[in-house]
Amino acid sequence: MSSSILNIGIQALNANQTALSYIGQNIANVNTEGYTRQTVQMGTQQPPILGVQVTDIQRMTDMFLVSQVWADNSVFSSNEAFSEKIAQLDQMLVSDATSLSASMDSYFAALQQVVDDPLFIANRELFLAEADSLANSFQDFDRKLRSQTDLINTEIRSVTDTVNSITQNIADLNVQISSIEASGKSSNELQDERDRLVKELSGYVTTNVISQDGITYNVMIGSGQPLVVGNSAARLEVRNSESDPTQIDIFMKNGSGVDAKVTDQLGAGAIGGLIRYRDQVLQPTINEVGRLAIVFSTTMNEQHRKGMDLNGDIGQDLFAPITEGEVTAHARNESQNTVARVNFYDVQALTGSDYEFERTSIDDFMLTRMSDGRRFSMADLTEVGSAAELDQSGVFYRDPVSGTLNVSLDGMTFQLKGDPAVGDSYLIQPTRSGGQLMDTALTNPKMLALASPLRIEPSTINTGNAEISLVNVTSAEDTSPLRNGTAQLPLEIVFNAPDEDGNITYNVYMNANSDNPVIYDGMENMPYSDGEPMAFTLDGYEITFDNQPNPGDRFTIEFNTDGYSDNTNALAMSDLQNQSLVNGYSYQDTYGQMLAKVGTQASNAQIAYTASQSVLISSENALQSVAGVNLDEEAAKLVQYQQAYSASAQLISAYQTIFDSLISAVRR
């Protein structure tokens, strides 16, 4: 009787009804994101029983394609986050409202007006206003960059919270799916939800799913850190960086007490894209802006201090001096009794890179330039015998009195006082705060030192055609005799008759107006060469003559008293615009390089974003062709199972007719 027409009909009726239900489920969820098409698998009963049974409700998916979508989604999300941020920076660099190049152009245009008429107070006031505007532009630019840093930190914190929520939901679904599958029921909808969550997770970090039993998902991120294992989910925590408190790092903490830093192990995804932008573009740009501010202000100050103002005084700083960078001790340093600082011996040689100093042993250290990874141990550097020799790259000096270690490299000197423990490290950021500290120091237009402090007057009886081509003050230090009033002035240069070889020499005399002049600083019978500077080292200046003097020609060097209309130093300041001062490049060229670099990176980021978007769409389409609902196909199946359902009902009806006939025959 188990194989009677009635039982076969009932089994067929139930099986086709189930198939119709799942076809309806497919059609109803045709627009549901993440829904995977389901099919009813049927099979015959075990002999000798006849009929049909539903053997499985199968999700039509392909784990290879699913994994490919997850991987492509990670890459796309990373490129999207990176491209969006760098596009904002690129726009800020080129916009006239924020461009530092435009501000520098306005500064030098105002300086040229001062050159044309150094006595006109309005020109001087305009120049000071442009100098103040330039300093504000640097500060504002730096502030915008730091605001973007804060925004990225906020986004990372928010995304990290979202990741924690997703991973906990995946772990919960693992439990529910395992329980349902163990009871022999279908968990297809829950598996769809889990796959959707994994895809969402892949948008934030690179994911790799391992399923040993085919049911439970173990989710690894980035380089293989386990984020979800069975019913347990690790948590990501955002903390201030131990090496740089202005930045944040991401740590993973699981139920076993493991607490590991995973900032650089998250792979692609939105978090990876944000961190990549922060570390590879934003922070280097802050450093570059800082370097430009330091070099600009320092070189302008040096030249301005070589001039004389309208009060007859030697020039002071035009911009607020920026003499030190930032040094941060690692939070886990064992020794807390050290003092570290970094200052500059040659701002023109600064690289804009960060550095890491680590004490590697009792008698050795390692200095790493982080922009290119170049490492300098003590053996790679030269030990010098005094602090005065630290004005060169690749040297170090240990002060026996104070116990301070000094290391000079790339225009900076790192100083460490105290006794750091082995393994202690310090983050050195020479230029990080340059843009932030840029400011003007002068407010009085009369204190603009636009004239030369020296005046060279030829004698009225000169017969040669020698003339002054350049007066260059070589020292702007406070100890310079020109600044502290101890310079030996006036002096007189007297050209001698040519010697037997035809060489012209000259003598320099002090007290030129006395009856008994004295040779200045041993400068007697000095060889003269057309266009070569005469170095007055004792007082810190040089004088260059062009053409040939005749014997007896004289030139008097004196302080430029009442030299109000002199624009010599203003011209020298203006000439700085085209000089290679920033590690071999001019101010504007340096900014142009920064703009070009960011622009190229932004263009490449946009190309990568578009390409990864196309790849993701392609892989999603491939998956959709397998797992997606095709309404035409479902409609055909609907007709198929409707007919099968009707035929099954006819079996029952036929059985009823036969049964009724049998009963009627028995009654007769």
Residue-wise pLDDT for 411-469, tens only, equals 999 999 999 999 999 999 999 999 999 999 999 999 999 999 999 999 999 999 999 98
Q: Does residue 182 surpass a pLDDT of 70? A: yes
pLDDT grade for 3, boundaries at 50, 70 and 90: low
Over range 352-369, report the average pLDDT.
Answer: 95
- Whether 564 has a pLDDT exceeding 80, the answer reads no
Annotate 254-280 with b (16+ C-beta within 10 A) or e (fewer).
Answer: beeeeeeebbebbbbbbbbbbbbbbee
Instruction: Please tell me the predicted confidence (pLDDT) of residue 514.
Output: 67
For residues 349 and 431, give the distance between their C-alpha atoms in angstroms, rounded to a whole number: 12
For residue 455, which amino acid is it? Answer: R
Kindly state the average pLDDT of the residues 109-125.
94
* CA 82/CA 98 separation, integer angstroms: 21
Torsion of the alpha carbons at 267, 269, 275 and 281, rounded to the nearest 10: 100
Model pLDDT for residues 468-519, shown as the tens digit of each residue: 988 999 988 888 898 888 898 899 999 999 988 889 999 999 875 667 789 9
Q: Which two tokens stand for residue 45?
A: 């009963």
Q: What mean pLDDT do residues 38-46 have?
A: 86
Candidates 247, 30, 84, 87; CA nearest to 156 is 247
Residue 248 has pLDDT above 70, yes or no: yes
pTM for the predicted model, two decimal places: 0.88
- Tokens 């040939």, located at residue: 548
**How high is the pLDDT of residue 668?**
63
Query: Residues 401-409: what's their mean pLDDT?
Result: 94
Confidence of residue 612 (pLDDT cuts 50, 70, 90): very high
Residue 308 has a CB neighbour count (10 Å cut-off) of: 26
* Pairing, β 505-510 against β 526-527: antiparallel
**Which residue, 2, 5, 1, 4, is CA-closest to 647?**
5
Residues with Cβ within 8 Å of residue 163, at least 6 apart in sequence: 201, 204, 205, 236, 271
Q: What amino acid is encoded at 348 in this protein?
A: Q
pLDDT of residue 512: 56
CB 602 within 8 A of CB 83: yes
Whole-number average pLDDT of the chain: 91
Tokens encoding 359:
């004490």
End-to-end CA distance of the chain: 25
**CA dist., res. 434 & res. 287, Å (int):** 8
Lowest mean pLDDT among 38-52, 186-200, 478-492, 595-609: 38-52
18-22, 249-253, 324-328: range with lowest mean pLDDT: 18-22
Asked whether residue 80 carries a pLDDT value surpassing 60, the answer given is: yes
pLDDT category at 2 given cuts 50, 70, 90 is very low
Q: What is the 3-state secondary structure (H, E, C) of 405-463?
A: EEEEECCEEEEEECCCCCCCEEEEECCCCHHHHCCECCCCHHHCCCECCEEEEECCCCC
The mean per-residue pLDDT over the stretch 525-532 comes to 93
Length of the chain: 668
Q: What percent of the chain has pLDDT over 90?
A: 67
pLDDT at 1: 44
pLDDT tens, position by position, 317-349: 999 999 999 999 999 999 888 999 999 999 999
Q: Where are the domains of the chain?
A: 5-60+628-667, 66-278+586-619, 323-432, 468-559
pLDDT level of residue 95 (50, 70, 90 thresholds): confident
- 109 contact partners, CB below 8 Å, separation of at least 6: 130
